[in-house]
């Protein structure tokens, strides 16, 4: 990032604003305008994300037929497809073991739905987070084997499950692993282990979520079955593109990078979702108050949290059952149950976050020099909510954070969330290898860990030492990157449509940030659960609404209230507010700065 934007070296929340484009970036944006004839703001957004002028057309219209690789570029894909095809052809019962989050539910549903269309018996098991924990366990696998399963397929888990997979093999099950989590050097002895994050996998598809890996597996499996003449008039070939709604939901909810193939998955999956053909997602959207066409934002903030609520504090299998059902009455009931659980989850989360933030303030305050990583634990915390608490701590204190729930036996179940440039999953695996955690792993940005209460201090010290340097570098580069300045009058629906052409936005492809320079805060009010609603007026009299989510009691909310009726620079993302059936522009405020 280059120069300070509008000269803001320190905003009212302590952040530096940087122009996302340096001189080379501005030249690239100008070239796009001149050569491709696209609007200036869109060109700045594209150039700020490293898109070359020659790639603009494909980037703005990511086509699956162009970006889709041959699935066999993934190691063990041929073996996985062959074993699954054998099960389909012989009518074997397939046991599907998934994770309890959105990616796990979508992955399990994708495979189960395909097997249903192929006429293959299947069993789906989603583990209880509290009783069974993450990953496959011997008890559940033995139960599925007792129900006649001869093939076990783990989805969104299994890469590190050496002992359990060995036990599954011992009792006579073949095992296929379809996963995306970071992998150790030594892998379990599965019949096939498809994971683009295997150390020996050179596919370049490590950004896929598990549902993306499962989708590629189904493409490979479908090809084998087609060659074997499995599909007939009585049993037509499944419409794999019609299943992209599940891939899109998992991709957004699992916060994997929205680059390359993932952008095509989400773009085309949302188009499928807008047709409202899947009863579960249709009713879940209705109960969540989703009005207007489905956008990536809805997947991450409305649909995803409700599916996750079952795995966090209720029946972990609700999400997969919702996604698989074709019955409207069942879909409506499950959607209502998940919405109720989500409200309960929100109440528990508020109390836990308040306690965690108070403890963190007592430990380090808001001084970034006081520790690089937060590791907090409590006996009273719900283990299904700790990941959300860790995320809130990371946002509030700007550093990697762990929240650990301790049970009555003195064992802690925790989750961590990281900042860009700091690989949390690798650090947790190193702690496990050092004997400082019972088990753990995950992604660069999110990790899970199991650690005894007596070992939390040693675990925290290890993580601090391991990540301190990376956190320091990340903080130096963490200024708020601004794409462009606009006025209230210029923030039109047409402008937002141009910006959305470069979407979907998310992890690895950040939502554009814009500044409304020298606008007056004519209204500031608290609304909802700690949000701040504002109205801004430009010098020409034009106005725009704004919302700062979860800002009450935070530096951002305080700055907005203290500057009511004053003139400030406001930064945030632009969106269309469709509340009440009217489409108007709105800014989702992320920062505010004084006018010098």
Give me the number of domains the chain comprises: 3
Please check whether residues 462 and 558 belong to one and the same domain.
no
In a domain, 290, yes or no: no
Q: What is the pLDDT of residue 574?
A: 94
| Residue range(s) defining the domain that contains residue 551 | 5-20+483-594
**pLDDT at residue 1 tops 50:** no
**pLDDT at residue 520 tops 50:** yes
Q: What is the pLDDT of residue 51?
A: 92
* Dihedral sign, Cα of residue 65, residue 70, residue 74, residue 79: positive
Q: What is the mean pLDDT of the chain?
A: 93
**26: Cα within 13 Å, side-chain hemisphere:** 9
- Domain end, chosen from 254, 273, 292, is at 273
- Average pLDDT (96-101) is 96
% of residues, the chain, pLDDT over 90: 83
In a domain, 532, yes or no: yes
pTM above 0.75, yes or no: yes
- Domain end, chosen from 425, 447, 476, is at 476
In a domain, 55, yes or no: no
- Domain end, chosen from 428, 444, 476, is at 476
Please check whether residues 214 and 195 belong to one and the same domain.
yes
- 316: Cα separation from own chain's centroid: 18
Q: What span, in angstroms and rounded, lies between the C-alpha atoms of 198 and 19?
A: 37
Go through the chain and tell me how many residues it has: 596
Please say whether the beta carbons of 107 and 211 come within 8 A.
yes
Q: Give the alpha-carbon dihedral of 543, 549, 552, 553, to 10 degrees.
A: -130
In a domain, 321, yes or no: no
In a domain, 285, yes or no: no
57-61, 368-372, 373-377, 380-384: least confident range: 368-372
Please check whether residues 257 and 114 belong to one and the same domain.
yes
Residue 491 belongs to domain with CATH number? 2.40.50.460
Please check whether residues 133 and 77 belong to one and the same domain.
yes
Backbone phi, psi, residue 531, to 5°: -95, 160
**pLDDT at residue 507 tops 70:** yes
Please check whether residues 87 and 227 belong to one and the same domain.
yes
What pLDDT digit, counting tens, does each position of 409-446 carry? 999 999 999 998 899 999 999 999 999 999 898 888 89
Q: What span, in angstroms and rounded, lies between the C-alpha atoms of 65 and 67?
A: 6
**pLDDT at residue 578 tops 80:** no
In a domain, 501, yes or no: yes
Backbone phi, psi, residue 270, to 5°: -65, -35
Please check whether residues 75 and 191 belong to one and the same domain.
yes
Q: What is the pLDDT of residue 368?
A: 59
Please check whether residues 436 and 533 belong to one and the same domain.
no
Q: What is the pLDDT of residue 277?
A: 96
In a domain, 87, yes or no: yes
Q: What is the pLDDT of residue 110?
A: 98
3-state DSSP of 505-519:
CECCECCCCEEEEEE
Please check whether residues 455 and 504 belong to one and the same domain.
no
Q: Contacts from 49-57 at CB under 8 Å and sequence distance 24+?
A: 49/502, 49/509, 49/510, 51/502, 52/28, 53/28, 56/32
In a domain, 544, yes or no: yes
Please check whether residues 541 and 424 belong to one and the same domain.
no
What pLDDT digit, counting tens, does each position of 250-267 carry? 999 998 999 999 999 999
Q: Which helix (H) or strand (E) holds 94?
A: strand 93-98
Q: What span, in angstroms and rounded, lies between the C-alpha atoms of 594 and 596?
A: 6
Please check whether residues 498 and 466 belong to one and the same domain.
no
DSSP string, 38-89: --HHHHHHHHTTT--GGGHHHHHS--HHHHPPPGGGSTTHHHHHHHHHHHHH
Please check whether residues 440 and 532 belong to one and the same domain.
no
Residue 188 belongs to domain with CATH number? 3.90.1640.30
What pLDDT digit, counting tens, does each position of 522-572 carry? 999 999 889 999 999 999 999 999 999 989 988 899 999 999 999 999 999
Q: Which residue has the higher pLDDT, 519 or 135?
A: 519
Please check whether residues 384 and 260 belong to one and the same domain.
no
């Amino acid at each position: 990032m280059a120069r300070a934007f509008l000269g803001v070296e320190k905003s009212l929340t302590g952040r530096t604003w940087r122009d996302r484009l340096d001189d080379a970036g501005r030249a690239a944006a100008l070239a796009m305008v001149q050569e491709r004839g696209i609007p200036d703001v869109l060109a700045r957004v594209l150039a700020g994300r490293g898109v070359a002028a020659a790639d603009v057309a494909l980037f703005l219209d990511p086509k699956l037929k162009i970006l889709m690789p041959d699935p066999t570029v993934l190691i063990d894909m041929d073996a996985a497809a062959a074993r699954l095809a054998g099960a389909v052809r012989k009518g074997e019962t397939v046991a599907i073991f998934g994770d309890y989050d959105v990616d796990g539910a979508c992955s399990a549903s994708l495979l189960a739905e395909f097997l249903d269309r192929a006429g293959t018996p299947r069993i789906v098991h989603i583990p209880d987070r509290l009783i069974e924990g993450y990953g496959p366990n011997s008890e559940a696998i033995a139960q599925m084997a007792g129900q006649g399963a001869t093939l076990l397929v783990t989805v969104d888990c299994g890469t590190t499950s050496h002992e359990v997979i060995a036990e599954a093999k011992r009792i006579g099950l073949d095992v296929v692993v379809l996963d995306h989590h970071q992998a150790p050097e030594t892998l379990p002895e599965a019949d096939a282990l498809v994971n683009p994050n295997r150390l020996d996998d050179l596919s370049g598809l490590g950004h896929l979520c598990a549902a993306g890996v499962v989708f590629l597996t189904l493409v490979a499996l479908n090809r084998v079955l087609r060659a074997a003449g499995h599909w007939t008039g009585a049993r037509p070939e499944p419409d794999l593109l019609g299943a992209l709604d599940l891939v899109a939901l998992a991709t957004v909810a699992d916060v994997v990078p929205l680059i390359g193939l993932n952008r095509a998955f989400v773009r085309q999956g949302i188009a499928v979702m807008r047709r409202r053909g899947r009863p579960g997602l249709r009713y879940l959207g209705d109960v969540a108050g989703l009005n207007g066409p489905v956008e990536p934002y809805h997947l991450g903030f409305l649909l995803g949290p409700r599916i996750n609520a079952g795995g966090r504090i209720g029946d972990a299998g609700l999400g997969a059952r919702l996604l698989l059902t074709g019955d409207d009455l069942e879909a409506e009931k499950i959607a209502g149950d998940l919405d109720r659980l989500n409200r309960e989850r929100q109440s528990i989360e508020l109390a836990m976050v308040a306690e965690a933030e108070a403890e963190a303030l007592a430990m380090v305050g808001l001084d970034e020099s006081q520790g690089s990583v937060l590791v907090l634990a409590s006996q009273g915390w719900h283990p299904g909510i700790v990941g959300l608490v860790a995320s809130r701590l990371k946002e509030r204190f700007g550093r990697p954070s762990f929240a650990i729930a301790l049970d009555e036996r003195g064992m802690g179940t925790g989750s961590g969330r990281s900042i860009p440039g700091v690989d949390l999953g690798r650090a947790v695996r190193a702690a496990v290898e050092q004997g400082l955690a019972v088990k753990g792993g995950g992604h660069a940005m999110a990790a899970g860990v199991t650690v005894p209460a007596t070992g939390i201090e040693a675990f925290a010290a290890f993580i601090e030492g391991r990540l301190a340097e990376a956190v320091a570098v990340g903080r130096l580069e963490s200024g708020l990157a601004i794409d462009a300045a606009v006025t209230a009058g210029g923030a039109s629906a047409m402008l937002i449509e141009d910006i959305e052409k470069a979407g979907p936005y998310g992890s690895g492809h950040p939502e554009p940030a814009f500044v409304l320079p020298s606008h007056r805060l004519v209204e500031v009010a608290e609304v909802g659960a700690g949000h701040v609603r504002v109205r801004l007026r430009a010098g020409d009299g034009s106005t725009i609404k704004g919302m700062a989510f979860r800002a009450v009691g935070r530096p951002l909310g305080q700055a907005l209230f203290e500057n009511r009726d004053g003139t400030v620079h406001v930064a945030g993302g632009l969106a269309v507010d469709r509340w009440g059936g009217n489409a108007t522009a709105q800014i989702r405020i992320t920062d505010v700065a004084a006018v010098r």
